[in-house]
Every structure is written in C-alpha cells, then in structure tokens.
A and B are shown apart, each in its own frame.
Chain A
Amino acid sequence: MNVLTVFLITAGALMAIGVFGILTRSNIIKILLSINILQTGVNLLLIALGYRDGGAAPIITSQVSSAVAMVDPLPQALVLTSIVIAFGTTAVGLVICLNYYMTHKSLDVHTFGNEEREHQQKEVVD
C-alpha cells in the first residue's frame, strides 16, 4: 500500500466524515465545524492527486534544478486559494450563527414551531 493510496484514503475518509456531520448534526456550530472538516479533506485530496512518490518540492534552489522530478505545483496554488475561501465561508457562517442564536435563542436547527410561525406573520420585510 504505497503512500499515495494512504493519502487518498485519509482525504476520502475526512470528506465522508464532513458530509456525515452536515447531514446528522443539529447544533449549528457543529454543522459549520463539519463543513470545515470537509474542506480540509478536499484540500488533502487535491494535494494528494498532485503528489509524486519521491518528488522534490517545487522550489528551485542551488541543489534542485527544474530537471529534478518535482511534485505538481498547480494543485498547491489551487489549495492556497481554497484554504482562504474556507476561512471566508467560516467567518460569514459564524456571524450568521450568532444572529441565528440572538433571534432564535437556541443553537438547534429544529426551532420551527408555532411560536416561530406567528413571529413571521407579524414581521413585514422590505
């Protein structure tokens, strides 16, 4: 079982755990945490797909010239972007969770009761 399949299996497992967490958790902060785990899993998958056994890091130094077999640099550039996107989504998600808590007084997703419905009738938006 070479190193690459271990990376791919770990990435796949993390993605599965993230999706499982989104489907089953009822606490909104935990749903955001599982989205974070899903995002870490996908980042791992992308880098693992660019991995080359025994490849050198894609930086040209005095010892390493470009003739040396290098790891694929493109997925690394993509994952750099994806990590910052994950941070942006987490920040906005957390603010929305705070507002959800301030208005619904609970971190639970299932808050839709009649108390909720009569709230909606009163408020008119726009």
Chain B
Amino acid sequence: MTAFIVVIGTVMCAGGIAVLFVRSLRSAAVINGVVSLLAALVFVMMKAYDVAITEAAIGAFLSTALYFFAIRRIDEAKDKKGAGDGDEE
C-alpha cells in the first residue's frame, strides 16, 4: 500500500515540475488537470471521499476547462494581432 502511494506521490511531483517546464500552455493545463485527478485519488486513499468528488469535479475538470477557454481566447487575440509572441515561448 505504501509503495503504491510513493509511486503516485512521485508521479504527482513529476507532473508538478513538468507543468513549469513544458513548452506549450495547453499541455501544461492538461498536466495540471492530471495532478489534480491524482490528488483526488490520493484523497480517496485517505478516506476523504467528499473531498475526492469535489476535487475531481472542480479542481480537475472545471479548472482545466477554464484554462483551455482562456488559452483559446489568447490564440484568437494573438492571430488577430499577428506578431504577438505566442504562448509557446
């Protein structure tokens, strides 16, 4: 049981670091969603089922959806202005 949690913990930390260093913003948002989902899984293992449902519904799904809507609007504004430096810095 502990080994399983150690694996999940390292995957979450690796995801956290990946969010900072990955180039495209969209993949950063997806990785952030994955980290939130793994957090929901860890909440289930810690017997906090209420929190797991809320974290999955709000933290994982809706935050990622918001990030995608925002990045789409930035792309639309970027194309309209042409030269703006892209999110793929």
Contact = CB atoms under 8 A, between A and B. Distances in A.
A61 to B, nearest CB: 12
B59 A30 contact: no
A107 B48 CA distance: 38
Interface string A1-43: 1110011011001100110110011010110011011001001
Given A3-B2, A21-B19, A86-B59, A80 B29 contact: no
| Interface size, A (range) | 35 or more
Contact of B74 (A44, A58, A101): A101
Interface in B33-89: 35-36, 39, 42-43, 46-51, 54-55, 58-59, 62-63, 66-67, 70-71, 73-74, 77, 81, 84-85, 87, 89
Interface of B: 1-2, 5-6, 8-9, 12-13, 16-17, 19-20, 25, 28-29, 32, 35-36, 39, 42-43, 46-51, 54-55, 58-59, 62-63, 66-67, 70-71, 73-74, 77, 81, 84-85, 87, 89
B54 A105 contact: no
A14 B48 contact: no
B37 to A, nearest CB: 10
B53 to A, nearest CB: 10
